[in-house]
Amino acid sequence: MTYCVGILVRDGLVMIADTRTNAGIDNIATFRKLKIVSEPGRRTLAIATSGNLSVSQSVISMLAEGVENQETGELETLEAQPTMFKAAQLVGRAVREVWRVDGASMKEMTARFDVQMLFGGQVAGGRLRLFMIYAAGNFIEVTPDTPYFQIGEHKYGKPILDRAVQYDTDLYDALKIGLISMDSTMRSNLGVGPPIDVLVLRKDALVPELDYRIEPNDRYFLDLRERWSQALRTAHIEIPRPPYGNNIPGDVEL
C-alpha cells in the first residue's frame, strides 16, 4: 500500500509520500516513492507514485532515459519540456509506453496495471502546478476549490484535509496538516509506513525549500502524533453527550 498527498496553496507546493511497499502482508519493504528533479532557477519537478511498483518504477526509469516520440523517433525528457502541462503529458506518455510494453503480459497473469501519480512543480516562466495522472496517462489538475490530491490509501487521512486545508493556508501549516493526514493513515493501515519523504517548493523559488526524510524516530513527528491523538481525545470530551430520548416505539417487529 501507499499514501501520498500533494497540497498546492497560494505560497507553494507540499508533497508527502510514505515509503512502504508490500507484496502480501509478509513481504514488506522500503522504497522511495517521491522523486524530485531540480535544476535550480529553471525547474523543479516532483513525482509521487502509487500502485504496482514495477509499473511506477518503469515509468520513472523511462522518464530518466527519455520517452521515445513515436512520430519523430526522438527521446523526450522532462528537462526539455517548456511547461508543466507538456511535462505532465510526457509523464502520461511514459505511462502509456509502459502499458504498451508490459500491459498485455500483466493482463494475462491477472496482475493489475495499476498506477497513479502526483506530479507537481514549476518551470521558469510558468506557474506552480499540481496534477494527478492516471493509469491511462490522462490527468487532472488541482484548483483552489480543493487544493489537494491524494493517491493510494486515501480515506483515513481525508477528513482532516477536507476540514483544515484551504488555498490560502500557510505553506508550513499545509505541511503540518499533510503530516497529520499521513499519521492518520499510518495508524489505520499497516501497509503505509515510515520513513516519510517530504518536499516543500515555494512558489517561484524554482528550487526545493525543503527536501526531507522523516525517519521513524523523528522527534517532531512523534510529538505531532502524540499531540494529535491527545487533541482528538479531548476534542470529543468538550462536546456534550447526546440528549436524546426515544422517538421510536420501543418494540419494533422484524
What are 123's strand-pairing partners?
A: 43
Residue number, 90 or 142, with CB nearest to its own copies: 90
Closest to 51 in 3D by CA, of 108, 142, 113, 106: 113
Minimum CB separation of residue 107 from its own copies in Å reads: 19
Tell me which amino acid residue 14 is.
V
Pairing of the two strands 139-141 and 196-202: unpaired
Concatenating the DSSP letter of every residue in 116-139 gives EEEEEEEETTS--EEEEE-TTS-E
ω into residue 82 within 30 of 0, thus cis?
Answer: no
CB 212 within 8 A of CB 221: no
Contact code string over 139-178 relative to its own copies, x by CB under 8 A: ----------------xx-xxx-xxx-----x-xx-xxx-
CB 70 within 8 A of CB 39: no
Interaction of residue 37 with its own copies, rule CB under 8 A: yes
Contact code string over 75-94 relative to its own copies, x by CB under 8 A: ---x----------------
Give the range of 18-26, 104-112, 131-139, 241-249 binding its own copies by CB under 8 A.
241-249
Q: Output DSSP code: residue 241.
A: P
Give the range of 4-12, 19-27, 126-134, 181-189 binding its own copies by CB under 8 A.
181-189
Residue number, 59 or 135, with CB nearest to its own copies: 59
Query: CB 28: neighbour CB atoms within 10 A?
Result: 14
Binding site for its own copies (CB under 8 A): 35-40, 47, 60, 63-64, 78, 155-156, 158-160, 162-164, 170, 172-173, 175-177, 179-180, 184, 187-188, 197-198, 207-208, 210-214, 220, 223-224, 227-229, 231-233, 235-254
